[in-house]
Structure 1
């Protein structure tokens, strides 16, 4: 099922780069948090890279990390490659297909210093979200970091009219998906053997949920 999302009509530049408005809005804020929170060196695995905008900007900002973008949809790889060419980042690897909701990829991708998921968990079911967190935890090396960005419920509730409308629109398309509660996600992180940090408040009522793999 193809979801109708605000960024579904992303513009395409002449060089093949797709531009998602949400990625344009949040890329700098995400970059600033990760520069402070991510390990300085090692392998970074980005889940659901989408257009590739984040990969290009984050690889530039974190030159000590070997950045691996991935996406479930092979149709997204061309845009990710175009953004990589635009960035010129020597540490940005060719994108490849990876379904973050599948089982077993975590150990195959280990060891990672960083696993990043941006705007993913509200688009999948609770069962798949739990699997994403568990597999990401399995991919982390000791001292590694899992960083999950997006919109979340707080104490079971949305925090703005816009979030309430978006969550309702998602659930109308598929009752199994929608916003996850931040505490629930942190609970899944703990169950997977990670140590959650305090949530980081982000623009537009979003959160960064970050957890460490004990060294």
Structure 2
């Protein structure tokens, strides 16, 4: 993310306008299991075992990554959040669920800044002296509308590849509400966009265009390979690395 009105306490959230309301998390695991997990599960099942690694961007309070770890054993999960407040929330959920053996401590990654991406690379490099480690899958839920556009998605695309944090066949999955270049998919999407765009922020919040994301992907070594409609008008967008990178081994 970029900048936002700072929290009143140094221990508070760095970007309070982007936080989901507390009621969002009530029954979240059950809702997500029923509506979205069936779409994501085939991508998890296709990962190489053992030793597959997956990176989650914008992990929220850790509910999603806990669900992934509990339903798809054999994958090592790396959650992340944009500030220490979020990382603490994720780590608390992981400890409460007793899944520290498969979910790593959350890393602070503000997608606009280089420091977090470098921290991820150091985390991977520290695991082996002989092999260049990488993530086999990257995903994020309900956050693209809360980061600067187009700077945020562009930085995600480029930072995953330069130097490469992902294996040549790794995909990037983005779940959430989106729009298209000429408008909204539904009145409820338009109402949601109006609500979040009215929040105080130093950059515009709001639903982002799938078409615009596809163009950014094309410019940065990725391509939008699938757009899968899921419950309540949301989407799972599947990005793959462009042919030259996947075929040529793209890691550096």
TM category, shorter: 0.7 to 0.9
User: What is the distance in 2 between the residues matched to 1:99 and 1:4?
Assistant: 13
Q: Secondary structure at the match of 1:186?
A: helix
1:114 equivalent in alignment to 2:121: no
Residue segments in structure 2 that go unaligned for 5+ positions in a row: 6-15, 125-132, 248-252
1:131 equivalent in alignment to 2:155: yes
1:92 is matched with: 103
Q: Secondary structure at the match of 2:177?
A: strand
1:15 is matched with: none
1:69 is matched with: 79
1:30 is matched with: 36
Count of aligned residue pairs for this structure pair: 207
| Structure 2 counterparts to residues 1-215 of structure 1, below 5 A | 1=5, 2-3=16-17, 7-10=20-23, 19=25, 25-38=31-44, 39-41=46-48, 42-89=52-99, 90-103=101-114, 105=117, 108=121, 111-126=134-149, 127-137=151-161, 138-173=164-199, 174=201, 176-213=204-241, 214-215=246-247
How high is the TM-score relative to the length of structure 2? 0.72
How high is the TM-score relative to the length of structure 1? 0.83
Q: CA deviation at 1:181?
A: 0.6
Residue segments in structure 1 that go unaligned for 5+ positions in a row: 12-18
Aligned CA distance change for structure 1 residues 140 and 20 (closer, same or farther; 3 Å) = farther
- Structure whose residues are more often strand by fraction: 1
Q: Secondary structure at the match of 2:88?
A: helix
Q: CA deviation at 1:23?
A: 6.0
Highest CA radius of gyration, 1 or 2?
A: 2
User: What is the distance in 1 between the residues matched to 2:64 and 2:23?
Assistant: 14
Q: CA deviation at 1:81?
A: 2.2
User: What is the distance in 2 between the residues matched to 1:165 and 1:24?
Assistant: 25
User: What is the distance in 1 between the residues matched to 2:27 and 2:112?
Assistant: 24
Note the alpha carbon deviations across 1:119-173, whole angstroms, 9 max, x for none: 1110112122221232234422100110111111024311222211121222223
Question: What do you get for the CA RMSD once the two structures are aligned?
Answer: 2.5
CA contact (8 A) 1:56 1:87 kept: yes
Q: Secondary structure at the match of 1:93?
A: coil
User: What is the distance in 2 between the residues matched to 1:123 and 1:64?
Assistant: 31
User: What is the distance in 2 between the residues matched to 1:136 and 1:27?
Assistant: 27
Aligned CA distance change for structure 1 residues 125 and 146 (closer, same or farther; 3 Å) = same
